[in-house]
DNA sequence: GGCAAACTACTCGGATATCCGGTGTCCGAGTCATCATGG
DNA sequence: CCATGATGACTCGGACACCGGATATCCGAGTAGTTTGCC
């Protein structure tokens, strides 16, 4: 899976804690984790195209969460960064070669593709069942000080 | 996911239908789907290392299934080709940057990593629940002529 | 004819090139805050 | 003092290099079948 998925998810969590009052520039969001700013910007653009973030240009601009945290699933984030294509891509090799040259016509979908899709669907279902709000709840339960700390860090000037 | 996963799975299915009486060379297995023989050979070696296939050198050599089809899960095949690493790799970026410099010690695992692992576990569970024998049953139910056809093709000299 | 040894052809196995998508970077378009200026 | 216009800096957005891993290929090690020669 894409590396940017991790960056994007953590950044979304930070934006969720900061609230949607103000917009945060990509450079600031990147500095929080010492990530390359320009590259994180690329990922944030993808999130904006997917409707997860809203972007504002110019001074005082930046990114903010477009929806409530409980309306954004991990599936949304992963799809925005990693693309909508399934991990297993059936190329229908059963139709190639001398095996099926003109004789057999497969009316049913490839059984292997079906099995892979079934597994991938379970994966997507699990990701779609967890929202950013759920992850926030987990973090606050295990590390209660984190949200305030994030807010203070972004309030300070660096 | 790796392209070779599809080739490997289809080839395992063919070997299952042919039975483990005789060994089939990689070149013949590749010709069935018009695949590059040397590259498929690479995948078959990975399957052999994983204990899914057994390889025999020399004339009359080749590959054959090492276990009964109901003892080989799709998870086994995918792991053999694509590697055992999880798709989502947590790099613990929460420990980097000024955010957690020396102050907070996270005793609990990363919540995002946990969520991703949960989804991936569901995926692995689905793959592990389906064996080659299950896929064979599906194919025979939808396309009954396929197994015999495969056997005939591999019996013929080309 | 039977047997053994050398030979040959075949197959796996790993080492070696090539190509493409992710990784990383940079600069231009657009925008908003600021500041100077005049009324 | 207030309104207004120009100015400037800041930020996003997309276009441009770079690199590692997947893709694809080739050749050597080893083996089994075959042939040939000898007893």
Pairing type for strands A62-65 and A53-56 reads antiparallel
CATH 1.10.3720.10 matches A4-155? no
Check pLDDT > 80 for residue A77. Answer: yes
Q: Which pLDDT value is given to residue B104?
A: 64
Determine the angle formed by the axes of helices A74-82 and A4-18, rounding to 10 degrees.
Answer: 130
pLDDT at A97: 75
Distance B59 CA to C4 C1' (A): 21
- Which among B82, B69, B93 is positioned nearest to B120, based on CA atoms? B82
Nucleotides of C under 7 A from a protein CB: 9-15, 22-27, 29-33
Give me the count of residues in chain B: 158
Taking the C-alpha atoms of residue A146 and residue B103, their distance in angstroms, rounded to an integer, is 11
> What residues approach strand D to within 7 A at the CB?
A 23, 25-27, 38, 41-42, 44-45, 48-49, 55-63; B 2-4, 36, 38-39, 41-42, 56-61, 83
CA atoms within 13 A on the CB side of A128: 7
Candidate from A31, A122, A145 with C-beta closest to B123: A122
Find the Å distance, CA of residue A27 to C1' of nucleotide C28: 18
Per-residue pLDDT at B130: 98
The answer to whether residue A114 scores a pLDDT higher than 90 is yes
Q: List the single best residue of B115, B138, B141, B143 to mutate versus A (max A Cβ within 10 A).
A: B115
Q: What is the pLDDT of residue A133?
A: 98
CA of A23 to C1' of C38 (A): 35
| Averaged pLDDT in 10-residue chunks for chain B of 158 residues | 96 96 95 96 98 95 97 98 96 83 74 98 98 98 93 85
Cα gap B10→A96, rounded to integer Å: 12
Q: List chain A domain ranges.
A: 4-155
Nearest to A25 by CA among A58, A63, A66, A52: A63
* Region A63-85 average pLDDT: 97
- Identity of the residue in A96, A125, A142 whose CB atom sits nearest the CB atom of B33: A96
CA nearest to B20, candidates B49, B53, B60, B57: B53
B133/B130 Cα distance (integer angstroms): 8
Q: Three-state DSSP class for B56? A: strand
pLDDT in tens, B91-117: 999 998 766 665 566 778 999 999 999
Cα dist from A86 to A33, B9, B73, B105, whole Å: 30, 17, 20, 37
**Does A3 score more than 60 pLDDT?**
yes
A153: closest chain B residue by CA:
B99
Q: Are B72 and B15 in contact (CB under 8 A)?
A: no
Mean pLDDT of chain B: 94
Give strand letter and number of the nucleotide nearest A54 (CA to C1'). Answer: D12
From CA A110, how far away is CA B135, in angstroms rounded?
10
Model confidence at A129: pLDDT above 80 = yes
Q: Which residue's structure tokens are 């289809």? A: B10
Angstrom distance (rounded) from CA B35 to CA A46? 36
**Closest nucleotide to the alpha carbon of B39, via C1':** D24
Nearest nucleotide to the CA of A81, by C1', is: C22
Strands B62-65 and B53-56: antiparallel
How much is the pLDDT for A132?
A: 98
């Amino acid at each position: 899976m894409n590396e940017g998925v991790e960056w994007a998810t953590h950044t979304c969590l930070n934006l969720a804690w900061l609230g949607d009052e103000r917009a945060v520039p990509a450079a600031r969001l990147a500095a929080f984790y010492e990530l390359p700013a320009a590259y994180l910007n690329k990922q944030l653009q993808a999130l904006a195209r997917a409707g997860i973030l809203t972007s504002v240009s110019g001074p005082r601009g930046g990114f903010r969460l477009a929806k409530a945290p409980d309306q954004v699933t991990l599936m949304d984030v992963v799809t925005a960064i990693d693309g909508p294509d399934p991990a297993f891509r059936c190329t229908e090799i059963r139709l190639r070669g001398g095996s099926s040259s003109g004789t057999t016509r497969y009316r049913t979908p490839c059984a292997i593709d079906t099995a892979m899709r079934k597994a991938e669907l379970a994966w997507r279902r699990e990701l779609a069942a967890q929202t950013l709000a759920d992850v926030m709840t987990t973090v606050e339960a295990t590390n209660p000080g984190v949200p305030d700390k994030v807010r203070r860090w972004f309030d300070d000037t660096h």
